[in-house]
Amino acid sequence: MDLTTLGISLLVLLISYMLIRSTWDRMHRKQNLPPGPTPLPVIGNLMQIKRGELVKSLMQMAEKYGSVYTLYFGSRPVVVLSGYQTIKEALIDQADNFSGRGQLPTVDRVFQGDGVVLSNGERWKQLRRFTLMTLRNFGMGKRSIEERIQEEAHFLVEELRSQKQSPINPTNILVQAIANVICSVVFGNRFDYEDKSFLELLNMFTETFQKMSSAWGQMHDMIPEIMNHVPGPHQKVDKLLHNLLDFVTERVKMNEETLDPSSPRDYIDCFLIKMKQESKNGVSFFDMKSLVLSVLNLFFAGTETVSTTLRHGLLILVKYPEIQAKLHAEIDRVIGQNRTPNIEDRGKMPYTDAVIHEIQRFSDVIPMNVPHSVIKDTTFRGFTIPKGTDVLPLLCSVLWDPEQFETPNKFNPGHFLDANGCFKKNDAFIPFSIGKRICAGEGLARMELFLFLTNILQNFSVTSQRKFTDTEMNPKMTGFANVPVSYEVSFVPR
């Protein structure tokens, strides 16, 4: 190497060092943010995240930097929280400060901070209050949500019976059944499993999820400044979301044409009535855009989550036939074969309740939670988190925490049973998160899990020729959700 080359190399090294140093200072030190790995300009900590292993990388960093640390997605700082105590101190003890919704760049261009899941401030408060009331049956007319789930569970059982015990991958049928519950709640009707427009709708959802969860989608969420300009499959998400919005807008028009304000049939009717009431106020958050986006939010929030949990559940029942046998016995004792399960049965079925809790704990379907943000400058454990900073409270760090659960890596209904076989609560059971942003569909989701599982097991034994290893049982991270391995099972009538 001659002297000129050496000089240039040293100069490049020096400039790089100064760039890193100045970015680090600008991004981190002067702000008293929690410490974390040193970010690089433009890409932040992207290099420290192993491809396809986002959650694992985040957990490994927690071991190194502690339960509160700062990570950079591009130039954007994100404070990562792990462990029950830390997450509780943030989301419960400082609930208001941590109640903001953080960024989700793959979808933010379309949602623009509207709709119940992604909004903030007064808009979010009002949309959330309205959604909670409606999902609790207030103002939803004569048919309760429980009845709507029971109706769908009946169709699901008949569909499974029609398979005549041949091995099937249950993914599609579960998605159809669970999506139909949301359809019944928001549109007032379910769809036939063969209905073309329903299948089209579900295909659009599936494709949107796939694009969002792909490596491209994840990179988009981490470094949107760059990925917004890079061609790739993630760019199709906007188009898909607009198609979905068109579908929902059509349905809203149909509701408008047939609306009877004295007899609302579904979420859309209730929203339209609220829009009319609020139109007298100067400022209202209940407008057509919020309605359409909130409906889409409910589909996104309520379909994959429940159907994926059930998919994990069926795999677990096949892996542990002795647990399945105990569930059969409890169902036979409390419900029998001559009537449909109802939600009051749950209180009399501690073993079933414990198994469902353990399925949710073990399957850990939303391991990183949905991003939060702080709504004002916040002092937390001696650090200062500036207003608007994104926060990731890692639910996986609590659900699989060895200090909270005796055998965190092993499926064990005993985590939720006391010595007398009664149901035992555990505060670290937080698959729906905690605090002011806690899942608005928790009640609906828990009802669905209980009624679908008991209906299936009242009618069938779930079996498979294949033996699943312990490693195969572990949830696999795809994008933001943990999914089970792909599998086939038979539904054998009892």
Q: Which residues contact 69 (CB under 8 A, 6 or more apart)?
A: 34, 35, 36, 37, 61, 62, 79, 80
Applying CB under 6 A, the span of 249-257, 312-320, 436-444, 474-482 interacting with ligand HEM comes to 436-444
Six-digit token pair at 160?
């499974």
Q: Can you spell out the DSSP letters for 315-336?
A: HHHHH-HHHHHHHHHHHHHHT-
**Identity of the residue, 40 or 174, whose beta carbon is nearer to ligand HEM in the bound complex:** 174
Instruction: State the minimum distance, in angstroms, from the CB of residue 23 to ligand HEM.
Output: 30
**Which residue lies nearer to ligand HEM by CB, 272 or 370?**
370
Q: Give me the residues paired with residue 40 across strands.
A: 44
Phi, psi angles (nearest 5°) of residue 437: -100, 5
- In the region spanning residues 187 to 246, those forming contacts with ligand HEM, defined by CB under 6 A, are none
Among 106, 305, 378, 490, binds ligand HEM (CB under 6 A): 305
Look up residue 350 and give its two tokens. 């501690």
Contact track, ligand HEM, 49-88, x by CB under 6 A: ----------------------------------------
Q: Is 95 left (phi over 0), alpha (psi -120 to 50) or beta?
A: alpha
Which residues, 452 to 491, sit near ligand HEM by CB under 6 A? none
- Stretch near ligand HEM under the rule CB under 6 A, chosen from 136-144, 204-212, 414-422, 433-441: 433-441
Does position 370 bind ligand HEM by CB under 6 A?
A: yes
What b/e sequence results for 223-262 when a residue is b if at least 16 CB atoms lie within 10 Å of its CB, and e otherwise? bbeebeeeeeebeebeebbeebbebbeebbeebeeebeee
Please identify, using beta-carbon distances, which residue of 128 and 415 lies nearer to ligand HEM: 128
Interface residue with ligand HEM among 180, 369, 454, 461 (CB under 6 A) is 369
Question: Is residue 366 near ligand HEM by the rule CB under 6 A?
Answer: yes
Region from 197-205, 240-248, 305-313, 405-413 binding ligand HEM, contact rule CB under 6 A: 305-313
Bridge partners (DSSP) of residue 101 are: 372
Asked whether position 302 contacts ligand HEM by CB under 6 A, the answer is: yes
Q: Which of 356, 440, 462, 477 binds ligand HEM (CB under 6 A)?
A: 440
Number of separate helices (H) and strands (E) present in the chain: 19, 11
How far apart are CB 295 and ligand HEM at their closest, in Å?
Answer: 10
Tokens of 129: 């209050």
| Stretch of 304-312, 321-329, 456-464, 466-474 lying at the interface with ligand HEM (CB under 6 A) | 304-312
Supply 388's token pair.
Answer: 């608007």
**139/251 Cα distance (integer angstroms):** 19
Is 421:453 a contact under the CB 8 Å cutoff? no
Pairing of strands 490-493, 460-463: antiparallel
Which residue in the set 40, 54, 110, 182 belongs to the binding site for ligand HEM (CB under 6 A)?
182
Contact status: 444 vs ligand HEM (CB under 6 A): yes
Please name the amino acid found at residue 388. Answer: G
Size of the site for ligand HEM (CB under 6 A): 28
Name which of 117 and 219 has its Cβ closer to ligand HEM. 117
Residues that bind ligand HEM (CB under 6 A): 101, 116-117, 128, 131, 182, 297-298, 301-302, 305-306, 309, 365-366, 369-370, 372, 431-433, 437-441, 444-445
